[in-house]
Amino acid sequence: VPDGPASAFPNLRPARQDGGVKVHLRNPSRTLEVAGPISIVALLGRLQLNRESVLVIRGGTLVPGDAMLDDADEVEIRPVISGGAR
Amino acid sequence: MKCRVCREAAVIDIRRHNANFCVEHFVRLCRDQVAKAIDEFEMATPGDRLLVAVSGGKDSLAVWDILRELGYEADGLYIGLGIGEYSDRSGAMTRAFAEARGWPLQEIDLREVHGYDVPTAAKVTRRVPCSACGLSKRHLFDQAAIDGGYDAVVTGHNLDDEAAVLFGNTLRWQEEYLARQLPVLPARHGFPRKIKPLVRLGERETAAYCVLRGIDYVVEECPMAAGNKHLGYKEALNEIEARSPGSKHAFYFGFLERAAPRFADAAPAAPEAPGLGLCATCGAPTTGEVCAFCRLVERTAGAQPVTLTVKERL
């Protein structure tokens, strides 16, 4: 996954190989790295994402809001809003 | 976080229900909500043949899956819209989904069958792409349902879709649209019944259903729809929902219960009303001599196909 602009999230840094929770975002596709441990709710708060608008996925299944992520974790934050002509 | 039903570990919280659910009970919740909507609004009865409008996105694949799980005879229809790689990927995912389950899937490619695609139609008509896209899909789904003897066309409109459309129609008090914004539109002469079984599920729930059921769907947004008003309304409503869970449900279902009947008189003309005839080209019901779809086909005939930019193709 290519690194994208991280300027919207000044507290975060683009993913490197030196640890931290890897967070894959979409639209545009990019990967950020966040220091763990951190809860899902706190992570979404730092990314300024609305919990109603995304799912957090780890290992092919959903991660609940109170789950804690460690540096070894890798998650996808998937947007759920869609809407063109139906 | 514990599942409200079994107290095992939960995977998702639904704040408007003030409850958490494990995989098994979340999937059951989704099916129960669809069954409840079908029953509450008399959308279908056992034995009905349903035609599902499938796009490869989360909502249409989820509703197809749930209807089959509920025992309905539901077939799919996919329309190739010609929106670059986005359409290629959507078609591939839809085919893979249907083939893996052995469920019947019809396909119509706009360019192959009708000589145009959505980007070209948007340029020729000088309107937003969603306009030509919606017109094409409505016409072709209606026609396929009538020709195939189906009892109803199923669309994947969810609670967020309906709340956002209601929000937009209310902002401008578009009475005719408000009169038609119902979860089921009965069959009229030349038009099949249209049903929206997902109206009790938000799109976070339909996306979660797909993840938990292992349904691979197109996550990327249609590049033609990016930045449209509908998406803006959804974002606005989600801001409200985050502060006050249940607002979208209360807005839409409150409308259905208390406001929709007041707009019934603004509904489009009944089939027997003067002025509604049959399209001279295709025979579909229309208020003009030629229906809007056939006029679009005529206007796009011979037009140079639009080449999408890299961003639009994806």
Query: Tell me, what's the pLDDT at B172?
Result: 95
- For residue B271, cis peptide bond before it (omega within 30 degrees of 0): no
How buried is residue B228: exposed, middle or buried, by Cβ count under 10 Å (0-12/13-18/19+)? middle
Mark yes or no for CB contact B131/A85 under 8 Å: yes
pTM attached to this predicted model: 0.91
Is B82 in CB contact (< 8 Å) with chain A?
no
Mark yes or no for CB contact A80/B155 under 8 Å: no
Instruction: Search chain B and give the residue with CA nearest A28.
Output: B220
pLDDT band at A8 (very low <50, low <70, confident <90, very high): very low
Nearest to B241 by CA among B170, B174, B172, B164: B164
For the stretch B62-79, pLDDT in tens is 999 999 999 999 999 999
Supply B303's token pair: 């037009």
Nearest to B62 by CA among B161, B239, B208: B208
Query: Tell me, what's the pLDDT at A7?
Result: 42
Is B22 in CB contact (< 8 Å) with chain A?
no
Query: Tell me, what's the pLDDT at A12?
Result: 54
The minimum CA-CA distance between A23 and chain B, rounded to whole Å, is 17
Helix B292-300 vs helix B118-125: crossing angle, to nearest 10: 90
Instruction: Search chain A and give the residue with CA nearest B10.
Output: A64
For the stretch B274-298, pLDDT in tens is 567 899 999 998 988 999 999 999 9
ipTM of the complex: 0.88
Cβ–Cβ pairs < 8 A, chains A and B: 102
Query: Tell me, what's the pLDDT at A14?
Result: 56
Is B134 in CB contact (< 8 Å) with chain A?
yes
Strands A74-79 and B277-278: unpaired
Query: Tell me, what's the pLDDT at B226?
Result: 76
Which of 157-186 (B) contact A at CB < 8 A?
A: 157, 160-161, 164
The percentage of chain B sitting over the pLDDT mark of 90, rounded to a whole number, equals 82
Query: Tell me, what's the pLDDT at A3?
Result: 40
Mark yes or no for CB contact A66/B1 under 8 Å: yes
Is B5 in CB contact (< 8 Å) with chain A?
no
Q: Residue range B128-140: average pLDDT? A: 93
Give the CA angle between residues B294, B305, B81 to the nearest 5°: 60
For the stretch B32-45, pLDDT in tens is 999 999 999 999 99
Q: Residue range B103-109: average pLDDT? A: 98
The minimum CA-CA distance between A62 and chain B, rounded to whole Å, is 6
Q: Residue range B109-120: average pLDDT? A: 95
Mark yes or no for CB contact B221/A86 under 8 Å: no
Which of 175-234 (B) contact A at CB < 8 A?
A: 202-204, 206-208, 211-212, 214, 219-222, 224-225, 228, 230-231, 234
Rounded distance between C-alpha atoms, residue B77 and residue B32, angstroms: 25
Rounded distance between C-alpha atoms, residue A43 and residue B274, angstroms: 60
Sign of CA dihedral A14, A19, A20, A22: positive
Is B264 in CB contact (< 8 Å) with chain A?
no
Q: Which residue has the higher pLDDT, B146 or B271?
A: B146
Q: Which residue has the higher pLDDT, A21 or A2?
A: A21
pLDDT band at B158 (very low <50, low <70, confident <90, very high): very high
What is the DSSP code (8-state) at residue B301?
T
The minimum CA-CA distance between A54 and chain B, rounded to whole Å, is 7
Sign of CA dihedral A37, A41, A45, A51: positive
The minimum CA-CA distance between A52 and chain B, rounded to whole Å, is 6
Q: Which one of B60, B141, B230, B311 would you mutate to disrupt binding with A, by most A Cβ within 10 Å of its Cβ?
A: B230
Q: Residue range B13-40: average pLDDT? A: 97
